[in-house]
Structure 1
Amino acid sequence: MVLNGSLVSFAGGIQLLAGEDTTVILPVVLTTVSTVGICGNLLVLLVLIHSFKTGRGSEAHALLVNMSTTDLLILVLCAPLRAVTYHRRIWTLGYLACRTSEWLQQSFFAVKTLTLATTSHMRHNFSSFTRNDFPFRPRRALVTVVTTWIVGLVLPIPNVVFSKLQSRGNLTLCVYELHPHFSDFMGVFSKMLPLTVHAVPCIFAVVCYIRTIILTKPRAHENPARQMESSLMLLSVTAAHGLMLLPEWSSWMWARHNTDESCKPPAALLIISQVCAYLSSALTPAIVLSMVEPFRESLSCLWLLATCRDIKHNPKAEGNGSEVRNIVTNALDNLGSVSQSSVTGACIDTFGRTLPDLEHFWTERRNTTVAENHDPFPWERLEQSSSELRPL
């Protein structure tokens, strides 16, 4: 896989790629990753919304909603744009998309990383909280989310300035062009942006999660293993996100650090780094849903609700009376066999205590005649007495 022309710093995906395989395989791979990731992030959002509806929401859950929303935006807006660029080999999406494609993608990456760092700090504070109830403050969570988005959107703004359309004959390309007057600024910006929005937040988050796992205090009415689940899950998400975006940021720094055309990163590295970046957003839901038991329980509950709703609205199940009658008959037969076996044996409750033989008590009540003066339940005869009275 080679380039037909000299590699400039392309924006919005690599263009001018030679070979028919790149126009088919890469869009299919990106489309598959996007589809799987979109479905996974929608499931995570449904589970988190269900947690808030059941009164189990927290600030960490609110930040997880922000993270899943960011992953969803990456897979909905950025990955399809790259797939179209790989398929067409040139830029066909217009001036506005060229200006904002790199800015939006790096902003979403920055928001996700900053969200993970903020969540790690919150989990660390929660682990050191002495009481059993950690206060949930929606206003503080909203301020945190808004601040994260403002910082994430502002820092990569120079990408909007340096991205532009370039014509080569009858071809239109979207490139990242640097003017000589801004070379010093770009040298600083190309190093500070990855450190600010990726390296430092990821390292901070990993350190906070490790400290949280080590210094977690046992709480009453809470399983210690359950306390570790959330921290381990978030640590895994942070590690996967940091490692899978490392090639993307490394190639981005490489392309802007060296002005010599012969020292540009190879196209294969750029493509692999972009696929890994989108794969990170697709794998995050799998880590979240598989490592936390309350999320698995919520997912099972939502699945049961959806299944019961489908059965309720299924006309075949409603109109097939013979199948329903057979099911009810079998259930009654099983219930009768269980009742007969329980009469002969002792009744034991869930705590292992033996219950009194109520069947024997009511049998004696039916077969025993009690005098009226000694009847402990005289109101049982009121209906019979009133029925025997007749008007004269």
Structure 2
Amino acid sequence: MLRCPFVMDADRPANVSFFDFVGGIQLLRGEDSRTVMPVILIAICVSGAVGNLLVLLIFVRDFRSGKGSEVKALLASLASTDLVILLLCVPVRAITYYKQSWVLGSFVCRTTDWFQHSCIVAKTLIMAVTTRAKHTVVPRTASGSFYNPTWIHGALAFIGGVSMMIPTPQLLFAALLPHGRGAICVSEMPVCASDFMSLFYKFYPTAAFLLPVTFTLAYYIKTLYTAVNHAPSAHHQSKVILVLLCLSGALGLMLLPEWGTFTWIRLGYNHPPVGLMMFAQALLYACSSLSPVILMTMYDDVRQGLVSLWFTATCRSRKPPSKCPKKEGNGSEVTANAVTNALSQQDKTFPDVEHFWTGRRNTHVDDEHDPVPWEKEEKML
């Protein structure tokens, strides 16, 4: 059984009004949390990293072939953010659960929660920006650009700056404290900053999570209704909007427990159950693994790109390479080559019997001119 890990409240300094673990729950008692939780996190990390890498490869192929769009550029940024979360944040939590203490040093202790929150805020803001992006594919122009990237680059730069600035308290209040033979990574908020931080922790989840997600969901629900009932090309447009709506809904639902427990603790209430906090962290990382699954199953361009990658990979693995079908060719060229090869094989004659068929071809022997026909000779025998 898991027991409450928050046994440090008795040792909390007098000038500290807030005390919480950073980088994962530490001092857990029980082998279940030490073995099961790291295995779950590693499985989420591996599967999600593979999925996001495939999505990025597909988008890169689309950009290089002139099939890019503004939405694809933003979704590629979202996949990159998910990949960073899975590769840099998940291993830290898995090690912390396994060691039940902090073994990664002071720098990682101070930056791990700040970095994770920066990525989470960036995800919600990127999904909100997709509401202003064009969903249709823009072909290459004469200058070689498939879309005007100025506002996309500006929006991503703004999102990056805001997402790193808002979670600054996660960087300032993190500290590494000795505990027994090891150390623990905690967040300590001084009493002098409690009033301001109490107001900040009411504003921070609202501005970084609640408002962007609510706006994105409301926009795509309204746009999907309009596309289905009034748009001239309702089928294609509604499918793209449905994909973005599913991504926004999954993001909001799967991040809600993490933001709920975060706000619950920071506002000074009692700590939530340990099982709820562990479930919220696992759901947070599972959200980064679910996004590529939604794109591969619902987004036509990504699904077609995945099929193309599969055929390309299997074709290159065959020997000889000449047997692989060319994507640029058409069926008539392949059929013409096959017919030509068949005719050339049919015209060939073995050299050993060529003189026999040459002598016998188009010849006719009459009985009156053949003294001993071989057919009659055979009957006589």
Q: TM-score, normalised by structure 2?
A: 0.76
Partner in structure 2 of residue 252 of structure 1: 262
Measure how far apart 1:335 and its partner are.
Answer: 7.9
Structure 2 residue matching 1:12: 3-state secondary structure = coil
1:192 maps to which of 181, 186, 203: 203
Deviation digits for residues 345-376 of structure 1, max 9, x if unmatched?
A: xxxxxxxxxxxxxxxxxxxxxxxxxxxxxxxx
Query: Partner of 1:85 in structure 2?
Result: 96
Residues paired across the two proteins, number:
310
Equivalent residue, structure 2, for 1:284: 291
Match of 2:350 in 1: none
Map of 2:231 onto structure 1: 218
Partner of 2:252: 242
Q: For 1:129-151, what per-residue CA distance to the aligned partner results, in whole angstroms no more than 9, with x for missing partners?
A: xxxx9x82112211111111111
Contact 2:41 2:94 in 1 (8 A): yes
CA shift digits 1:66-122 (9 cap, x unpaired): 100000001001111000000000000000101001101110000000000000232
C-alpha distance after superposition, 1:261-308 (max 9, x if no partner): xx2112111100000000000000000111111221111111111111
User: Which deviates further from its counterpart, 297-306 or 242-251?
Assistant: 297-306
What letter matches 1:71 in structure 2?
D
Residues of 1 paired with 2:305 and 2:57: CA distance? Answer: 9
Q: Residues 196 and 306 from structure 1, CA distance in 2 versus in 1: closer, same or farther, beyond 3 angstroms?
A: same
Q: 1:111 aligned to 2:122?
A: yes
Name 1:171's counterpart in structure 2.
182
| Normalised TM-score (structure 1) | 0.74
Superposition CA RMSD, Å? 2.5
Number of the residue aligned with 1:63: 74
Residue 266 (structure 1) aligns with = 273
- Kept after mapping to 2: 8 A contact 1:121/1:208: no
Partner residue, 1:9: 20
Going from structure 1 to structure 2, the CA distance change for 1:235 and 1:334 (only over 3 Å counts) comes to farther
How far 1:169 moved relative to its partner?
2.8
What letter is aligned with 1:294?
A: D
Q: What displacement does 1:229 show?
A: 1.3
Secondary structure of 1:15's aligned partner = coil
Q: Are 2:5 and 2:274, in contact at CA under 8 Å, matched by a contact in 1?
A: no
Residues 211-360 of structure 1: matches in 2 within 5 Å?
211-216=222-227, 218-219=231-232, 223-258=233-268, 263-312=270-319
Q: Which runs of 5+ in 1 are unaligned?
A: 128-132, 318-327, 337-392
Secondary structure at the aligned position of 2:184 is classed as strand
Cα distance 1:228–1:335, how it changes in 2: closer, same or farther (>3 A)?
farther
